[in-house]
Amino acid sequence: MRRAIFPGSFDPLTNGHLDIIRRSAPLFDEMIVAVLNNPEKKPMFTVEERCEMIREVLPTVNTAGCTMLVESFSGLTAEFAKSRNASAIVRGIRAVADYEYELRMALMNRRLEPTIETVFLMAGEEFSYVSSTLMKQVFELGGRVEGLIPELVESRMREKKN
Ligand code: PNS
């Protein structure tokens, strides 16, 4: 049984995240989308809202028979992965700018839990500039984000704005 976690803030879920889920799913039997509950940050969506949106959107993605679960977590990613008996932490890399931060995280997570490997997947080039932060910023300023975030997420963002 190959189980992975795909951790992140997902504030909000983007099509870049879905691309990584679609690409990584065939590699595992089960994958937990692990939504970080970070009280220090002031997110646009509560952790419950983020989990709910991901659960609603996931059935639209071809996950190649991989069982998909969505859970929130607090504290260390490595500890959460261990508590779920995961053997891998999945992370997406968009461009070289992501590499240094991701490398540091992967090495720290390996130090914390040596049996858990970080698996990097390259996001599709069409998502190389898509980040949750940029999507929120563009949306707030009235720019178009269609095709870059799921429609459901966009409508929830609209509800938040009104
Ligand atoms: O989507 P993000 O914001 O890039 O995800 C970052 C995340 C949640 C993976 C990272 O901040 C994280 O793992 N936080 C949990 C705390 C932790 O384990 N820190 C040490 C990582 S080396």
Full set of structural domains in the chain with CATH? 3-161 (3.40.50.620)
Strand partners, 71: 34
Query: Residue 161 has what pLDDT?
Result: 86
* Sign of the torsion angle spanned by Cα atoms 152, 88, 47, 12: negative
Give yes or no for a contact between 110 and 117, defined as CB atoms under 8 angstroms apart: yes
Tally of CB atoms within 10 A around 68: 18
Of the candidates 3, 50, 91, 94, the residue annotated as catalytic is 94
Those residues with Cβ within 8 angstroms of residue 20's Cβ, 6 or more apart along the chain or in another chain: 6, 90, 91, 92, 121, 123
Give yes or no for a contact between 24 and 119, defined as CB atoms under 8 angstroms apart: yes
Find out whether the beta carbon of 93 lies less than 6 Å from any atom of ligand 1.
no
Query: Residue 41 has what pLDDT?
Result: 85
**pLDDT over 90 (residue 39):** no
Task: Name the residue with the closest Cα to ligand 1, atom 4.
Answer: 8
Closest ligand 1 atom to Cα of 73: 15
Each residue of 76-126: pLDDT tens digit? Answer: 999 999 999 999 999 999 999 999 999 999 999 999 999 999 999 999 999
Structure tokens at 33: 């989308």
**What's the pLDDT band for 32 if we cut at 50, 70, 90?**
very high
Residue type at 133?
Answer: T
